[in-house]
Amino acid sequence: MALVTSGAISFGVTAGAGQTPKRSIYEELGISVTSTRSLGSQDMRGLADKTGNVTISMSDFYGKSAGTTLLNSNFTSSSARIMVYGGGYTVSNQNPVLSGGTLLTNGDSAKFIITDNTSTVKVQFNATVDVATSSSFPYFTTYSIRGGTISNIASPSGASVNSSDNKKLDVPAGTFSYPSGSHVTVLSFSGTNPTASTPAFITGSNPVDFVEASGSAPPNALQTEAINLKLIKL
């Protein structure tokens, strides 16, 4: 449940714990109300949708939700397309992103976060997702960012919605490491996942495509970086 949108708000219990909607930032983060955190800590900045050296204030937490983490995967790649493959799927235990009561459904809001191998947030934004089942392959379900809904871009500085395709995000040169050059990059996010109706298709992936603004794939975009992709339902 999200924090209040106005009025008293506090880190721990000053504004009152156990209220609906919440007035305690620590409660929303799921940590002890007697914890000690600085406004600059990663979980606090993540909740406030502020990263880097941007100054944040208590008002930045109004209406914010810590959400439910649906995907939290580490991976490395030597290509411009990175894919987080699903593992351990069975008929009764399917993809952790799209099946189950609290998981993503069509029109849900989600937060996308990419961090590097030093836990530095490289990309963070919110968006509404489209979830659809293929008419040709009814056992395949997909999710993707709904065009025009990318918002709360907290990182990197200078990132913006792609002018040609508003389901994609442009990030500036230097956001990711490359073997050579420093490319402006377009990121797209989507996933394909099975349902229980066809056990033979208990597999799936959650790809992130890295494409140069000119339209070609940058060479070995992640060759020097380990990446974590986190998808949080808000």
DSSP 222: T
DSSP 125: E
For residues 164 and 223, what is the distance between their CA atoms, to the nearest angstrom?
27
For residue 219, give every residue at least 6 positions away whose Cβ sits within 8 Å of its Cβ, in sequence order, or none: 80, 178, 179, 180, 181
Strands (E), the chain: 68-75, 81-85, 109-115, 121-133, 140-145, 151-155, 160-161, 169-171, 185-194, 205-212, 227-233
Per-residue pLDDT, 194: 66
- For residues 166 and 26, which has the higher predicted lDDT (pLDDT)? 166
**What is the pLDDT averaged over residues 156-185?**
89
- For residues 226 and 138, which has the higher predicted lDDT (pLDDT)? 226
**168 CB neighbour count, 10 Å cutoff:** 18
DSSP 120: -
The predicted model scores a pTM of 0.85
- Tell me the two tokens of residue 120: 């530095």
The answer to whether the CB of 38 falls within 8 A of the CB of 193 is: no
Ranking 11-25, 38-52, 184-198 by mean pLDDT, the lowest is: 184-198
For residues 44 and 48, what is the distance between their CA atoms, to the nearest angstrom?
6
Give the pLDDT band (50/70/90) at residue 164.
very high
| Nearest to 202, CA basis, from 90, 97, 92 | 90
Per-residue pLDDT, 5: 92
Per-residue pLDDT, 209: 87
The answer to whether the CB of 190 falls within 8 A of the CB of 40 is: no
